[in-house]
Chains A and B, each alone.
Chain A
Amino acid sequence: MKVKILFFGLIEEALAVSNEEMFIREQTSLAEFTTSLVKKYPILSELNYQIAIDKELAPTKIVLKEGTEIALLPPFAGG
């Protein structure tokens, strides 16, 4: 199944990509997904970020669904 990944700010800059789609197997948890993403982009292991699933900060045990939007958010700087 297909999920959409969004990268912002410092993460977008470090990876030189703002978004991409990825095929993952059914029943993949966010933790498993993150592990595979770090394999693809090793620099992520050195960066500080939170993950939002469909626009909500999410626990790592959550199971991903077809079409899920996964966003990697670096530290906030609003205001």
Chain B
Amino acid sequence: MKNVFKKGAISSEFIGESIKKHQSKTSIGAHNIFLGQVRADTIDGKMVSAIEYSTYEEMANQKFHDIREAAFEKFELTCSHIYHSIGKVGVGEICLFVFVSAPHRKVVFEAIEFIVEQIKKEAPVFGKELFEDNTHVWKVNK
């Protein structure tokens, strides 16, 4: 089972390298990328400074695998990749990187939305929103 989790923020270098790696796959004509970024929400007058992610890793990796499989069944994709942060990610940093590729453009728009929505709904990932004063609240996906 592929491990989707990366410690800390997902760097722009890593994202750039991922794009570069796909240039040898010449049947691809369209990529689409979704990047989740940690937002500086204000909750009860306090601003979020980071999110600390934790997970039920074995179940989550299985779930991410199932989501990718479902995407391949539904859409004509050449490849699809998911990376999610674990541990602390500061505001403005990337915590989710979804990357889909296909011969033609239409399916990549639909596929990326499908994958991201499934992740939000199905993946057992938990997030603690940390404030500057060391207090926290638990985040819930809407």
Contacts and interface: CB of A to CB of B under 8 A. Distances in A.
B56 A76 contact: no
Interface in B91-124: 95-96, 116, 119-124
Contact of A76 (B58, B62, B122): B122
Contact of B127 (A52, A55, A71, A78): A78
B138 A78 contact: no
Contacts of B74: none
A interface residue count range (under 10 / 10 to 19 / 20 to 34 / 35 or more): 10 to 19
Given A78-B120, A79-B119, A71 B56 contact: yes
A71 B125 contact: no
Interface of B: 36, 51, 53-56, 58-60, 62, 84, 95-96, 116, 119-128, 138-141
Contacts of B122: 76
B28 to A, nearest CB: 25
6 contacts: A56-B59, A71-B56, A76-B121, A76-B140, A78-B84, A79-B125
Given A8-B126, A79-B36, A79-B120, A74 B138 contact: yes
